[in-house]
Amino acid sequence: MPVQIFHRPGAVAAGGRFNLPSYFPPLYKLLKLRYLKERAVNEAGTAVYTLRGLDCGDASADKTIVEAAPGAGQVRLVRPRTIEVGDALTANDAVEIIAVTEIERPA
């Protein structure tokens, strides 16, 4: 069964990597990843979003999952707890990850 993770990785440059803490299960395969960009209000100026206690702005579209170095709008799983992003993240941005863990890895 896939897991859903919300995480604030801190500032990450485009093309950079972030590590998930050891208390998260090691990941086998990314199914979905989206950025939750920090904003005071959404782009229309009508609402602020809070997801599980994370004060975030608009959720971006799902990122394309790739096997090679990611470009803009793309991400890849480098190691079980390391994700490489094609877009920059600020210190207050968060990510939503849906993935299959190593424990649930198909035989």
Residues 6+ apart with CB under 8 A from 3: 25, 97, 98, 99, 100, 101
Nearest to 91 by CA among 6, 17, 11, 35: 11
Give the mean model confidence (pLDDT) for residues 10-18: 95
**Could you tell me the CA-to-CA distances from 23 to 5, 53, 62, 70, 90 in Å, in that order?**
11, 19, 24, 26, 23
Each residue's pLDDT tens digit, 55-72: 555 556 789 999 999 999
What was the pLDDT predicted at 93?
Answer: 84
pTM for the full predicted model: 0.81
What was the pLDDT predicted at 40?
Answer: 53
Number of helices (H), then strands (E), belonging to the chain: the values are: 0, 9
